[in-house]
Amino acid sequence: MAALTAAGISGRESNVLHAAAGGVPRDYIARTRDYDEAAWRDHVHALAARGLLHDDGSLTRAGRELKDEIESTTDALGLSALHALTDDEVETLFQTLTPITRAVVAAGDVPALTPMALGRDELHDGSAHLAAH
């Protein structure tokens, strides 16, 4: 929320931007966040008026740059919580949470893509893949 607030983007607008960026399908966000067609359209128009979306709801160059900046800031802030852990502890955390994640995904409660746009198959082994980074 800090990155969104600093960028002047409301929580509801962030959902529309996220869908426009292809992070999560629009219909999933609209259904799970209770947007009707009029509310969605209002947010698209408001973001278009600020030069972040085209009238068709796709990202403009400025919208893509802002979305990338928000994601980078969010990643940096979110990952800072893991700095208190060793690599082995992070690996253990990921492996502990993977069965829970799989159960939630199998129940159909989340889309095929994570909010970070990772495919669920990219998390197949439960590893944090720290050696790859």
pTM for the model: 0.68
Measure the CA–CA gap between 82 and 105, rounded to whole angstroms: 24
Distance CA 10, CA 76 (A): 20
User: H helices within the chain, ranges in order?
Assistant: 2-7, 11-20, 26-32, 37-49, 61-79, 87-106
What angle is formed at CA 36 by the lines to CA 111 and CA 116, rounded to 5 degrees? 30
Model confidence at 19, in pLDDT bands (50, 70, 90)? very high
Which residue would you say has higher pLDDT here, 123 or 133? 123
